[in-house]
Structures are given as C-alpha cells and as structure tokens.
C-alpha cells in the first residue's frame, strides 16, 4: 500500500452527490485513499435532516453544488456551522458558485482522484491546525 492509498485513513467523509454513478466513482476514489464513507446522500432535504438530527459525524464532506436542480448551499451552511470542512463538486467552472461560496475549495467533474484527495487533506489539516489554537 502506498502513501497515496492511506492519505485519508481514519477519516470519515460525507459524500453528497445526486448522480449514482458519480457517487460510486467518488466513493471508490476516497476508499482507495483510506477514507470511511458516509452516504451517499442525494437530496438537500435528506442531508439537512441527517445533519440537524446529529446523524452525521464526519471529518469532512464532498458536496455536489446542484442536487436534483436545487443548490446545496443550505447544506454547506449547515456543515460550516458545525465546523465541518467541505469541498464543492461541480461540473461547471468557478462562475457556477455564488460569490459568498467562492472561498471554499471546489473540484471539477470528472473527478481527478489525486486533486480531490489533496484538497480534502488540505482542508483537514487546516481544521486540525485551527483546532490546536487557543
């Protein structure tokens, strides 16, 4: 097993994606990097209910911007309120994100496994560093 195979070892990653085949590719990529997957969840309401009910205990999330025609910003806000870092996933360019969400990392579809894993590692390391500050 290489270092790339274990970069996310021990990390619980929430997958929010409405396309079944893309969700499966994403899950395979993340599991190859050692992550434990929560989901996938494909609907805004379902994700919000799981987050609000405390059913979701994760280190980070990959969040599709468009879920069955609805923007996933309420999910992004709910995750941010709980200090859960996330990466937006989109098939569109940066102009597809509302201006208030441009500071969050995004990964364009089709997914590049190494880029996605690197983005997740980056946001997770920033969370750990921020958590150590007093």
Say whether pLDDT at 2 is over 60: no
Could you give the CA distance from residue 30 to residue 131 in angstroms, rounded to a whole number? 24
Cα 69 to Cα 78: distance, rounded to the nearest angstrom: 19
What is the DSSP pairing of strand 70-71 with strand 66-67?
antiparallel
More confident residue, 3 or 10: 10
Predicted TM-score (pTM) of this structure: 0.85
**pLDDT tens for each residue of 70-117:** 999 999 999 999 999 999 988 776 667 777 888 888 877 777 888 889
Write the CATH number for 120.
3.40.50.2300
The parent domain of residue 25 ranges over 3-132
| pLDDT score recorded for residue 93 | 66
Are the C-beta atoms of 70 and 44 separated by less than 8 Å?
Answer: yes
Read off the pLDDT of residues 41-60 as tens digits, 9 standing for 90 and up.
999 999 999 999 887 889 99
Which pLDDT does position 1 carry in this prediction? 39
- Measured CA to CA, the distance from residue 60 to residue 85 in angstroms comes to 5
Domain count, the chain: 1
Q: How far apart are CA 120 and CA 87, in angstroms?
A: 7
- 10 Å Cβ neighbour count for 51? 23
């Amino acid at each position: 097993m290489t270092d790339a195979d274990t970069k996310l070892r021990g990390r619980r990653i929430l997958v929010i994606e409405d396309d079944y085949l893309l969700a499966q590719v994403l899950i395979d990529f993340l599991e190859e990097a050692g992550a434990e997957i929560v989901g996938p969840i494909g609907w805004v309401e379902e994700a919000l209910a799981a987050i609000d009910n405390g059913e979701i205990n994760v280190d980070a999330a990959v969040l599709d911007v468009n879920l069955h025609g609805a923007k996933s910003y309420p999910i992004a806000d709910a995750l941010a309120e709980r200090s859960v870092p996330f990466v937006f996933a989109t098939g569109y360019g940066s102009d597809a994100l509302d201006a208030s969400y441009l500071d969050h990392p995004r990964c364009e579809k089709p997914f590049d496994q190494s880029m996605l894993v690197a983005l997740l590692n980056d946001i997770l390391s920033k969370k750990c560093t921020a958590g150590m500050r007093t």
